[in-house]
Structure 1
Amino acid sequence: MDENISNKIRWQQLLRYQLIEIMALWEGRLITNHLTGAFGIGRQQASKDINAYKELYPTNLTYDKKVKGYVPTSEFQVHFAQGAANEYLHLLNGNEALRRVFEKSEMPSSYTEILGVPDRTISPDILRPIIKACREKLRLDITYCSMTNPYGEDRIISPHSLVFSGVRWHVRAYCEKHRSYRDFVINRIMSVDDEMGGAIEDDKNDDIWYRYVDIEIVPNPNFNSAQQSLIARDYNMHNGVMKLSCRAALVQYLLDNSRVFFGEVTSQTYDHLVLKNRGNLLRYIL
């Protein structure tokens, strides 16, 4: 972003301009409701913000009567946003997606550092139709790569939700090849080849997505009592157990991210955390 422009704009305005770019880039449509909903401002103020942004970068947005909103032009470039998919996806997830803008303001610098994972490239051309399919319940013809099929194969999917596993983003979708709901790694979708009308499977049939299960995690019983007490304190366990509730479809991700050992515990198990109610959750562990 041009520092001369940045220095002349209040940080609240920088946030609004950043949101304008994020929504235009990743959803392919910007409407005043995006600003009114995010910042609690009136439609008149939102329109002023959009017009002010267009005065700064007149070739970035154009009004499209069909979608009743502004769409990015072929010359669109980000000036206030990062242009990375995680910025939009974390915004959906309620994380601190706007922290970068605060760093450009005159607010006091933080004495903290957050270690992030390497960003996995996701193209707007891939993400836009997936978001649209989730919202409008559509079928998509995609080319998907996997370790067993690294060159890609055709899949017809009906997406309903985006999932951040803690490391990368997936789309939860009905797969017509396997006739079941699956998670597809978004950055392994090489292309979205076609929209194929409405979804043929109601996402309410994704039973394990809508089912919540209890997870019980305990310190490794191979450790001595003092070590177990230390681990219990680290994780704020009550009576030596950490209880979590999770969508059944996401149990594997939660265990992996929390570094919980979910196999049969033996004398050779050295992990700090183990799964107590393993028998109840086996069907959800890949």
Structure 2
Amino acid sequence: MKETSLLAWDTQARYHVIELLAYWEGRVTASALREAFQLGKDRAQQVLRTYREEVAVDNLAYDTSRKAWMPTPQFTPYFIRGHVDEYLHLLGTHDALNPQFVGLGLGAANTESVPMPIRDVSPEVVRAVVSAARERQRLEVVYASFSSPRGEDRIIAPHTLVYAAGRWHVRAYCEKNAAFRDFVLSRFRGVPEAIGDALPAAAQENDEDWERRLTLEIIPDRRLSQAERELIAQDYAMEEHMLAITCRRALAQYVLREYGINHRHVEGDPRAQQIDLGNREALRQWLY
């Protein structure tokens, strides 16, 4: 194997993406590299070949039925650490790679940010969820919650992976509840098992809270003085003291969390609260 530090920077970047996709999604395709790096078809295929030749010939094996390179049991990463935040960053910067992923994308690019706690998310769980969403399959899972802390069997059909409020979720149809729900990936126990095609009711277009949108009206806390409200309005680039944010109904609660707004509780000190949801009553049914 060639010394990785001697490889050109752009080559290392491409190999980084190859390993992320192999590790977290369980497959790599030339089309994914084309999307990520704006490569031609032949060039993308060449990158995959040279990865195997220069790094590890035993890391990937081609699956003719899936038309993709799959990680082998001997897969050893050389360009990634295996942390879920690497995969999140990849999807955040190359969202065309995975149409089953949604991030809130709030705020501008930063030169420095406060690190979020890294939740323990198994790559085996992510692979199973991404594959099921892509292939429209049902998954048999063991899911822990406050009502069942030790976990209970569920059958779900995922359609979108979501990163919001510092956690990974999957939006999925739950057969137990006969409704769409959000499931936190770190609460899955063991590896989900695919058990066949999803039910017709589980189609994404049937998820009304996902398909329909609402507008959050963020305003300065009304208890502040006029001058203080003016200050807050400028901080958030509000127009006429209101910032309108349109989002999927299913994601509204997560957007509010990103802005530090608790729809169930208002801080006693308006200077601590600073902003509030102006149309709280109109949206109450969508805020769980």
State the TM-score, normalizing by the size of structure 2: 0.87
- Which residue does the alignment assign to 2:67? 68
In structure 2, distance between residues paired with 1:266 and 1:9? 53
Q: Alpha carbons of 1:21 and 1:76: their partners in 2 closer, same or farther (altered >3 Å)?
A: same
Is residue 236–residue 243 contact of structure 2 (8 Å, CA) maintained in 1? yes
What CA deviation, in whole Å up to 9, does each residue of 1:18-44 have, x standing for no partner?
A: 111111112211221121222122222
Is residue 136–residue 197 contact of structure 2 (8 Å, CA) maintained in 1? yes
- Which residue does the alignment assign to 2:238? 237
- Which residue does the alignment assign to 2:15? 17
Is residue 18–residue 28 contact of structure 2 (8 Å, CA) maintained in 1? yes
- Which residue does the alignment assign to 2:221? 220
- Which residue does the alignment assign to 2:105? none
Is residue 137–residue 194 contact of structure 2 (8 Å, CA) maintained in 1? yes
The equivalences for 1:25-104 within 5 A come to 25-55=23-53, 56-94=55-93
Q: Alpha carbons of 1:231 and 1:196: their partners in 2 closer, same or farther (altered >3 Å)?
A: same
In structure 2, distance between residues paired with 1:138 and 1:83? 26
- Which residue does the alignment assign to 1:166? 165
Q: Over aligned residues, Cα RMSD in angstroms?
A: 2.2
Give 1:179 shift.
Answer: 1.4
* 2:5 maps to 1:7: yes
Is residue 125–residue 192 contact of structure 2 (8 Å, CA) maintained in 1? no
- Which residue does the alignment assign to 1:105? none
Q: Alpha carbons of 1:264 and 1:186: their partners in 2 closer, same or farther (altered >3 Å)?
A: closer
Give 1:47 shift.
Answer: 2.3
Give 1:134 shift.
Answer: 0.8
Q: Alpha carbons of 1:261 and 1:119: their partners in 2 closer, same or farther (altered >3 Å)?
A: closer
Is residue 261–residue 273 contact of structure 1 (8 Å, CA) maintained in 2? no
Correspondent of 2:280 among 275, 278, 281: 278
The more displaced of 260-269 and 141-150 is: 260-269
In structure 2, distance between residues paired with 1:131 and 1:192? 13
Q: Alpha carbons of 1:95 and 1:236: their partners in 2 closer, same or farther (altered >3 Å)?
A: farther
Q: Which amino acid aligns with 2:216?
A: I
In structure 2, distance between residues paired with 1:48 and 1:198? 35
Is residue 261–residue 275 contact of structure 1 (8 Å, CA) maintained in 2? no
Give 1:227 shift.
Answer: 1.0
Q: Which amino acid aligns with 1:213?
A: L
Sequence identity percentage: 38
* 2:135 maps to 1:136: yes
Is residue 133–residue 159 contact of structure 1 (8 Å, CA) maintained in 2? yes
Task: List gaps (5 residues or longer) in structure 2.
Answer: 96-109
